[in-house]
Structures are given as structure tokens and as C-alpha cells.
A and B are shown apart, each in its own frame.
Chain A
Amino acid sequence: MAQEPIEIILLRHLASYLAVPIWITDAEGNLIYYNEPAEELLGKRFDEAGEIGADALDALFLTTDLDGTPIPNDDLPLVIALREHHPAHRAMRIKRLDGEPRTIELTAIPVIGQGERFLGALATFWEKH
């Protein structure tokens, strides 16, 4: 597998040291890394789950609005950050990878590197009480 851009490598290093849950996707929206705090909220260790393709992500977490209405894929913050290259935020309900429901708030930010290269997105999220 080809080497990742330095911005993504350094982002992964940083995420691995932070206590805030973080996801990192590549430019195509494939989930290529999440850190240990994210493992807690998602219900599976990254080493077990491995990378998750963009197509599988939405179906995997069964995201809905707080009232239970399914959120169209195009309206998910991560998809907006990837498509429109600007930050997006939303409160939502998800089902963890082990099936347990959670209510979270999620902010997604595009990753744009030197020379205006679009490299992917990162998402940080926290449980809404």
C-alpha cells in the first residue's frame, strides 16, 4: 500500500496522543484510522475493525436524527466536509459497531495540505448527555 501524505501521517500521530475521539478518512471517505478514545465510543478497537470503506460507513453506524429519522448520507457532517471542503457539525444517534445505541455530536473538518492538496477529513465527536 502506498505511503500516506505527511499531513495524514502527522495527523494520525497527533490523534494517537489525544484524549479526544478522532476519526481520519482519506480523500475518498474511507475510514483509515481512529484513535483509542474513538474505540470506546464506537465499540470496537481499530486493530479489530480495520479500515472501513466509504460505502460501508453509513450502513455500519445506522445514523439517525435525534428523533429517529434516518439521515441521508449526503447530509452527514463527514460527507459534507469531504464534498464541500468546509467544516460541518450535527447531533445524531448512531449504533456502535457492537450494536449499542449512542447519541453523539460530531464535527468534521476537511484536511487540506500544502499546495491546497485535498487529503481527506477528520471528525471529532463526543457523547451527548
Chain B
Amino acid sequence: MRVRLWGTRGSVARAGPETVRYGGDTAAVEVRGGDESVLILDGGSGLLLMTPRLENVRRIDLLLTHLHMDHVQGLGFFPPLRDSGIETHLWGPVSTTLTLEERLLRYLSPPLFPVRLRDFKELHLHDVGPGTHEIGSFGVDADLIAHPGSTLGFRIRQERGGTLAYLPDHEPALGEPEWVVDPRWTSGFDLIKGVDVVIHDAQYTEEEYRRRVGWGHSTLAHAITLASGAGARALVPFHHDPEHTDDDIDRMLAAARVPEGLEVIPGRIGLELEV
């Protein structure tokens, strides 16, 4: 699998000279299979940057971890949904009361957005619960993880390929002041266990986290602890705080204590990985 990051920012897009290196667009990740099938992870504003690469694609499977605005705000502007002849399958988390379509309509309808969901062409919606799903040529394990609202994390694999875990919004340390990774009682553990690469929330510094417990996000140290504890080989810190400049993120990464056996690959826009 080839993985490319098009949107790395959390919460809200932030464009400007201070975010050029790590990126100002919100979550969007392209995953290409060995057979050129395309999986897109989340529909943040980074989706628009990806569009030119989709010219010869006939089918796209787009997996939404959850429906917070920074993960869906690119959908309304995504050309394949308008008239490109690309069959698009949108997969999103189950809810106890409303379908994925009903929830997306809250954003993709007036007055919040001028275009209605029903105006999109060749769009197929799928409510996804925990479990294993065959999506195109990918095997996808989905599980609900600790983040406000119904939120999924994904573990993705392809025949003769590696494994990728994607948990962009995740607070595994919630309720655990002296957090130690316990395989049975740690949110997201099974998704990350032994993967080649995990793309994971690393939004806060430790000082910021103390003021934002319960907001659904991690520190870089939490992400490292979880990735290492679950035996991941590489961690891509992701979902950068919109208040952090490139220099701030540099400082966070430089100060991080990374245990032996784990590689930390900074999550920046345009990063390409072979998994």
C-alpha cells in the first residue's frame, strides 16, 4: 500500500506561512492498493488537494472515522461527488438513532450548505459498525474508540501488503491519570497491535492536555506510549492543533522520548509511505 497525507491538521483548517511544512488542511489520507484501488481516510479540507490524482479512478471508497466538521468539510467540494462518473462509497460510523445519511444531511443541506446530499452523483452510503469489512481490495477492521460521539478507528491491510492503523481522533488515556497500556482495557489497542504504521492523534502538549481532558485527543507522549505498547513499528503523529505552528510541532517532536523499536515519522502534508 502507498499512503499519502493530504490533510494533517486537527479541529479546523489553518492556512498561512506558519503551517506550510506540516500542513494547514484537515484530515484526508489517500491509500493506494497494489492494484491501484483507492481508499480515502476522512473527508477534511485536504480532500481538494487530492483531486487531480483521481482522474483515471472509477471507484473511490471513503472511510469517515466520525462526523465532526474537520473530517467531513471537504465532502461538499469534492469533485468526484458532483459529476465525474466516479462511483463513490462513503463509509461512516453507526449511530444508535440516526443513519449515516440522516446525520450527513445536517451539514449537506441548506442553510449550512447550498448543495443537498441527494444532488451528489453515484454516491453510496454505508453505516459501519465494529468488525471486519471487505472494502474493494482492502480488508478493514473497524472499532469504536474513545472520542466524543460515535467514532471509529481503522486497521487496513491488503494481500501481500503491510498493515496500517488510522486513529486520528483518540483519547486512550481518558480517566487514567497514571496511564499504563493494558491490552484488555486500552481503547484502540487491537487496531494498533503489531501494525507497520499507525497514524495517530498527537494534538496536545502535556500542559495543554491537562486543561482539555475529555476533549477526545492525545498528547504526543500518549501516542508514543500507545504505539510502542501495542508493538507498532512506526508512528505518524497527526491531527496537529490549529494553534500550533510548524516551529511548535518541531519543538514537540524534538522533546519526545521515543522508546527503542518505534520510529516516529512526523505527519506532514505530502508525506508518502510505502506500507
Query: Which A residues are closer than 8 A to B by beta carbons?
Result: 1-7, 9-10, 12-14, 16-17, 113-117
Contact across chains for A3 and B190 when beta carbons are under 8 A apart: yes
| Inter-chain contact A9/B146, CB cutoff 8 Å | yes
Q: How many chain B residues have a CB neighbour from A under 8 Å?
A: 22
Partner of B93, one of A9, A12, A114: A114
- Docked-complex contact A5 and B130, CB < 8 angstroms: yes
Most chain B beta-carbon contacts within 10 A, residue among A7, A14, A114, A117: A114
A16 partner, pick from B94, B127, B143, B175, beta carbons under 8 A: B175
| Complex interface: chain A residues within 8 A of B185 (CB) | 3-4, 9, 12
Cα–Cα distance between A2 and B193 once the two chains are bound (Å): 11
In the complex, A116→B94 CA distance in Å? 10
Q: Which residue of B lies closest to A16 (CB)?
A: B175
Residues on B facing A (Cβ under 8 Å): 93-96, 127, 129-130, 143-146, 150, 174-176, 183-187, 189-190
Contacts of B96 in A (CB 8 A): 114-116
Are A114 and B175 closer than 8 Å at their CB atoms? Answer: no
A114 touches B174 (CB 8 A): no
Enumerate 22 A-B pairs (CB-CB under 8 Å) in ascending A order: A1-B184, A2-B184, A2-B190, A3-B185, A3-B189, A4-B185, A6-B145, A9-B186, A10-B175, A12-B185, A13-B174, A13-B175, A13-B176, A14-B175, A114-B93, A114-B94, A114-B129, A114-B150, A115-B94, A115-B96, A115-B127, A117-B130
Q: Which residue from chain A places its CB closest to the CB of B190 in the assembled complex? A: A3
B102 smallest CB distance to A (angstroms) = 15
- State how many angstroms separate the Cβ of A1 from the closest Cβ of chain B: 5
For the complex, give the distance between the alpha carbons of A9 and B176 in Å.
11
Cα distance, A114 to B66, chains bound together (Å): 13
Using known A-B contacts A115-B129, A117-B130, determine if residue A6 contacts B146 with beta carbons closer than 8 Å. Answer: yes
